[in-house]
Amino acid sequence: MTDSHDPRPRPTDPPSTPGAERPLDGPPAAFTLDLPATPPAGTVPPLPPPARGVSAAGAAKPPFSRRRFLGVAGGVAGAAAAGGGVWAAMVRDSVDGVAIPTTTTTTPATTTTLAGGSLVPVDQRIIVVMEMAGGNDALNTLVSNDGAYRSARPNLAIAESDLLSLGGTDWGLHPSLAGFVPFWENGSMAAIAGSGMQDQSRSHFKAMDTWWSGVPDGGAQTGWLGRWLDATLEGENDPLRAIALGGGSPALVGMNTLATVVRSPATFTLRTMDGANNDALVAAFLATAGLLSSVNEMAAAQYAIPSTLDAIEILASVSGGGEGDTAIGDGNTATSLLQTAAGIIDLGIGTRVITVGINGFDTHANQAGNHANLLADVGDGISAFYDTLEASGHADKVMVVTTSEFGRRVAENGSGGTDHGSGGCQFVFGPQVAGGQVVGDYDFAGLRQGDIPTILDTRSVYSAALDWMGGPTDEILGGTHDRLGLLSA
């Protein structure tokens, strides 16, 4: 179980000497329900859920459904509703095929004409942040025509004849990113070269802290998205307003808001031992989570029960964990996680922020084939994601931003890979993105200890994203940052 005040992993970081880095470990195959790091005034201080669900040797029974939960609980839930409003969120009619519609008031101040002439209210927009964990090799992803690139990588440099040309520029894409090309051609994708946080560490976890928090020294206890969620919170906390798929939850940590963290959508279930009486266990849960205890820790655990069960039921409907539901996402690939995200968006349950965490980008050895497969998953996944959103009528609502904690060193190493570096690259997708442009550059003439220097602050990308979401922006990110012209007028 992670510490509620700082849920980020804290293993011993490897030395930052080039070639001596330890590969990034993957996340645990479990789920958590992120709760606020510090309670709002006058409320019960929340704690992590007391358990992660029950599993045992032998055949596992199907996960509880919210239908069964409410069917058994009926009268008790009604009586408990008077005890602090804990049950209000649980009894929402947002599952069983009928989602609560998002109610908005559209005014000229809160709508913008997007590509295709659609009017999308600001409070219906959704940001999806893809976190490519491990340190993506920017130089082989968004490829420069600078000769220094090929000189430093006699074996790993992408052949010019294999590059996917970004028309109107001297840049190219890795051949596995064919899925990005249509976005470039229709003007809904922009690329950023040389981005990062100034003076960031080559340690995975220290660098992740700065990217997740949006604070240069990584000392913040909240994430950049968590602070935005705090600032825009109205009414009761809803843990489905922000969802992390596959990892990346620290970016969502706020002081007052809840977020649901799903390490693996296919296994995000509450399971019981073979032979257990599910209905009796549901009733026991309800009895446990009745009128709130006067003891803070117990009340926090009680509060987590309905939210957790609600999240399990809703997410099961789009990830294959429920009874009789058709799976959309089937694993922790970018493609499957993004399809789960598309299903969540289509449910219309008020989700505003989704992070998608994928691993494997720490390519110290045998990079060529592994990196090609990873990028193919990302490129095909984003393409399929927008295809699904287009079919469901939600494409104009969604912006996608890619991140990775650092780039790789310019020179290849002796193991067919690259070591931890500095400046990286990012991509932004969406109907209001000022696409068809590469912002920034790789400064091969100004290398710092063999690294591409960071010339653009990633908080500029964050700022453009939060502006598109309706703000606030500058107060969330600790100052004003150049928006880099990433949004169309």
pLDDT tens digit sequence for 381-420: 999 999 999 999 999 999 999 999 888 999 999 999 999 9
Q: Is 238 left (phi over 0), alpha (psi -120 to 50) or beta?
A: beta
Q: How far is CA 302 from CA 150, 164, 231, in A?
A: 59, 54, 26
Q: Which two tokens stand for residue 136?
A: 């993506």
Beta carbons of 416 and 144 less than 8 angstroms apart:
no
Length of the chain counted residue by residue = 489
Strands (E), 12-83: 31-34
Instruction: Read off the pLDDT band of 312 (50, 70, 90).
Output: low
How many Å is the maximal CA-CA distance in the chain? Answer: 73
Render pLDDT for 201-218 as a digit per residue (tens, 0 to 9): 666 667 777 888 888 876
Strands 189-196 and 424-429: antiparallel
- Interstrand relation of 259-262 and 242-245 (parallel, antiparallel or unpaired): parallel
Q: Minimal CA–CA distance to 223: which of 13, 6, 468?
A: 6
Print burial letters for 25-50: b (CB count within 10 Å at least 16), e (below 16). ebbeeebbbbbbbebeeeebebbbbe
CATH label, 123-264+334-489, candidates 1.10.10.10, 3.40.1050.10, 3.40.720.10, 3.40.1710.10: 3.40.720.10
User: How much is the pLDDT for 260?
Assistant: 85
Percent of the chain with pLDDT over 90: 49
Q: Are 208 and 405 in contact, with CB atoms under 8 Å apart?
A: yes
Structure tokens at 276: 């257990």
pTM for this structure? 0.72
Of the candidates 224, 142, 14, the residue with the CA atom closest to the CA atom of residue 408: 142
Q: Are 190 and 10 in contact (CB under 8 A)?
A: no
| Spatial separation of the C-alpha atoms in residues 264 and 30, rounded to whole Å | 7
Tokens of 159: 């052949």
Map out the domains of the chain as residue ranges: 60-93+283-330, 123-264+334-489
CA distance 266 to 270: 12
> CA geometry: angle at 223 spanning 221 and 227, to 5°?
100
User: Which residue in 356, 334, 362 sits closest to 134, CA to CA?
Assistant: 362
Regarding predicted confidence, which is higher, 332 or 15? 332
User: Strands 398-403, 126-132: parallel, antiparallel or unpaired by DSSP?
Assistant: parallel
Q: What angle do CA 415, 421, 427 make, to 5 degrees?
A: 110
Residue 335 has pLDDT above 60, yes or no: yes
Mean pLDDT of 116-127: 79
Residue 368: band (very low, low, confident or very high) from pLDDT cuts 50, 70, 90: very high
Say how many C-beta atoms besides its own lie within 10 A of residue 17's C-beta: 10
